[in-house]
Amino acid sequence: MKKSWIQLIVFIMILGVAAGSLQNPYTSMYLSDLKEEASIITVSGNSLYNEILEAKAKHDIAPENAVIDRVWKGIPGYNGIVIDVKASYEKMKGKSFDESMLVRSEVEPDIQLDDLEPAPVYKGNPEKPMVALMINVAWGEEYLPDMLQLFKKHSVHATFFLDGSWAKKNSDVVRMIDEEGHEIGNHAYSHPDLKRLTNSAIQKELEDTNKVIEATIDKKPVVFAPPSGSYAANAVEIANRLGMQTVLWSVDTVDWKKPSPQVLTERVLQNVHAGALILMHPTEPTKKSLEAIIRGIKERGYTPGTVSQVLDSKRIENRR
C-alpha cells in the first residue's frame, strides 16, 4: 500500500509540472503516455517503471522560451530535456534500474528569437555554458594568421565580422578564415555610424558587404555587428529583413586601446559568463593574450564557439 501511494504521488508531481507549462511540448508529447504508464504501475506494481518515473520527475528540464528583455534585449531560448519513459524501460527491461541507461531527448522551446520582433542580442541564454569570441575586422590583417593558428591549436571556432571594403581587398584572408571553419559575419561596408545614415544607405552598406562575402566564400552571413556598436532600431529591422541577427557584446576587451596582454586577459576572464559574447579586434595585445584567454575560458567550464552556436537553443553540457 505504501509503495502505491508513493507511485501515485510521483505521478501527480509529474502531471503538475506538465500542467504548469501549457505551451511546453512536454505536455502534448508525454501526458497521455504518463497516464498509461501510471496505470501500468498501479496495476502491476512494476518497480522498474516506478524508478524511471521518479528519475523523470527529478531530471526533466523544461525548455526556456526566447524573450525580449528590457535591459539585454533579445535573449535566446534554451532546449529542455525529457526522459523517454517507454524507451528507457525497453532499454532496461530484464535488468535493474541504471540511471546511465535513461533515454533522454531535447525539447525545443515554443518561442525562438526568430519568432519575436527584431531585437539586438548582447548575450546568449544564461543557462548555456558556452561563449563566443567575436573579432571585428576592418584593419589588423597582419595579426590574423597567428590568431588563426592559435584557434586551430585549441580547436576553437570564432566569428569574424568583416568590414566589406576590407574583405574586398583581402579575399585570400577571408577564404583562409572560412576554410579554418570559422563563422563570417557582416560588419557593414565602410565602418559608418549607422545612426547617421538613411534607411537606404544602411541597406546598401549591409547588402554590399554580403555581396563581397558571398562572392568570396559562397556563403551569406546570418549575423551582423554594427560598427562601433552604434545602431538604431531601423538598422536592426533592415538586418532582420536581410536574414541577419544583429549582435553586440557583453564582454569588451577594449583591445583597441592597446592594453598589456595581462590586463586584457584579466579583463576577459574576470567578466566572462555563460552566454558571453566577447568583443575583440586583430591587435597585437589580442594576439598575445588569446591563448591565455582560451585556456581560462575552458578552465571556467565554458565551451568557446561561434556566435550562431551560442545563440542556438541546442543544449551543451557544463564542463565543470
Under DSSP, the state recorded for 194 is: G
Q: Strand 73-75 vs strand 67-69: parallel, antiparallel, or unpaired?
A: antiparallel
Total-model pTM: 0.85
Question: What are the Cα distances from residue 88, in Å, to 34, 43, 44, 315?
Answer: 13, 20, 18, 21
Amino acid found at 102: L
> What is the average pLDDT across 183-204?
97
Q: Residues of the chain with pLDDT > 90: what percent?
A: 83
DSSP 76-112: --B-EEEE-HHHHHHHHTTS---GGG--EEEE--S--
Q: How confident is the model at residue 319 (pLDDT cuts 50, 70, 90)?
A: low
pLDDT of residue 45: 60
CA distance linking residue 225 with residue 87, whole number of Å = 44
**Domains of the chain (ranges, CATH numbers):** 2-115 (no CATH), 130-311 (3.20.20.370)
Residue 290 in grid coordinates: 588569446
Residue-averaged pLDDT of the chain: 90
- Counting residues of the chain whose pLDDT is more than 70, the rounded percentage is 85
User: Band of the pLDDT at 46, cuts 50, 70, 90?
Assistant: confident
Mean predicted confidence (pLDDT) in 220-225? 98
